Amino acid sequence: MARRGASTINRDTAPLTEPKYSLKPPAPQDEWILEEDEEVVVEESVEQRPKIAITLPGDVSAAIRRAAVAMTAYQREKRVEQMQKAVDAYERNRYEEAARLANRLAQDLPEVTAIREIAGLSSYRSGQWRIARMHLERYRQLSTEPEYLPLEMDAARAMGRVRVVTDLFELLRQESPDPELLAEARLVVAGSIADRGKLREAIELLESNGAGEPRRKPADRHVRQWFALADLFDRAGETPRARRYFEMVDAADPDAYGVRDRLRDLGVGARKRTPRPRQRSIKKV
């Protein structure tokens, strides 16, 4: 079973991030998928199993081969193939399988940045918080990139490590990150505060940084922040303000985060709108 959800204040959702070298982006997150195991699986022989075509970016495959220089040529190619299988599993939302494969690779080749990345992301998506944080921290040390700091923070939040969340947020702020990354991290901090029942403090953190301001052409981060504020106001019993922000989300993207269900829960009929196309870019190494 694999969770699909976008980042909000609630603990049962998480920031959405893909590996830079992903062959294609994972499906949008908004539902649970149950993998049926009732079907009888016939074990294939090694000869019958189709060989996987290695399509990893050249620098990732090369990095694995370099790190495995002490192994035989066969063992090196098996590690490259295992990495491909991990990436394929991740892209199919089979996060536990991806984490299992990537964790084995990380034990053999701990200094390969791409392996730490896929191991951290798949462990995070499958709720293995301690392992995810370990891999993502090592990825950050190897790459010197802060892009997954919000995920590190969220993993620490899931473990109740309040001080770690705060320290990582301060570290990120010192990096002068782009607004999208900083907004994601701030949502995690607000969520950590709300976890301790301090809803008003969490609201003030977001509002004091402009999270509630209307936008003529909102970016994804603005929509996420509106939804987070709406959720906080709803939990705090401030229904009119919750309704206002849910309606702002609905106006910007009616398919986002189950907002129409939330509006219906508040007794508001969601308006019919043409969905706004979601823009997403995936960086390549």
CATH (domain of 250): 1.25.40
Residues 6+ apart with CB under 8 A from 281: none
pLDDT tens series, the chain, 285 aa: 233 333 445 654 444 444 443 333 333 333 333 334 444 344 444 444 444 444 788 899 999 999 999 999 999 999 999 999 999 999 999 999 999 999 999 999 999 999 999 999 999 999 999 999 999 999 999 999 999 999 999 999 999 999 999 999 999 999 888 899 999 999 999 999 999 999 999 999 999 999 999 998 999 999 999 999 999 999 999 999 999 999 999 999 999 989 999 999 998 764 555 455 554 443 433
Q: Say whether both 2 and 74 belong to one domain.
A: yes
Which residue type occupies 181? L
Q: Say whether both 114 and 80 belong to one domain.
A: yes
The 3-state DSSP class for residue 93 equals coil
Domain that holds residue 154: 1-31+57-178
Q: How far apart are CA 173 and CA 168, in angstroms?
A: 9
Residue whose entry in the numeric block shows the structure tokens 């936008």: 215
- 3-state helix, strand and coil shares in percent for the chain, rounded to the nearest 5: 55, 0, 40
Residues 6+ apart with CB under 8 A from 31: 4
- 68, part of any domain: yes
- 219, part of any domain: yes
Q: Which two tokens stand for residue 119?
A: 């191991």
**Rg, C-alpha atoms of the chain:** 21
- 227, part of any domain: yes
Q: Say whether both 210 and 174 belong to one domain.
A: no
Task: Work out how many domains the chain is built from and give that number.
Answer: 2
Q: Say whether both 26 and 149 belong to one domain.
A: yes
In this structure, the number of other CB atoms found within 10 A of the CB of residue 211 comes to 21
- CB-based contact 87:20 (threshold 8 Å): no
| Four-point Cα dihedral 192, 221, 15, 6, nearest 10 | 110
- 27, part of any domain: yes
- 5, part of any domain: yes
Element spanning 188, H or E: helix 179-195
Which residue type occupies 45? S
Q: Say whether both 7 and 119 belong to one domain.
A: yes
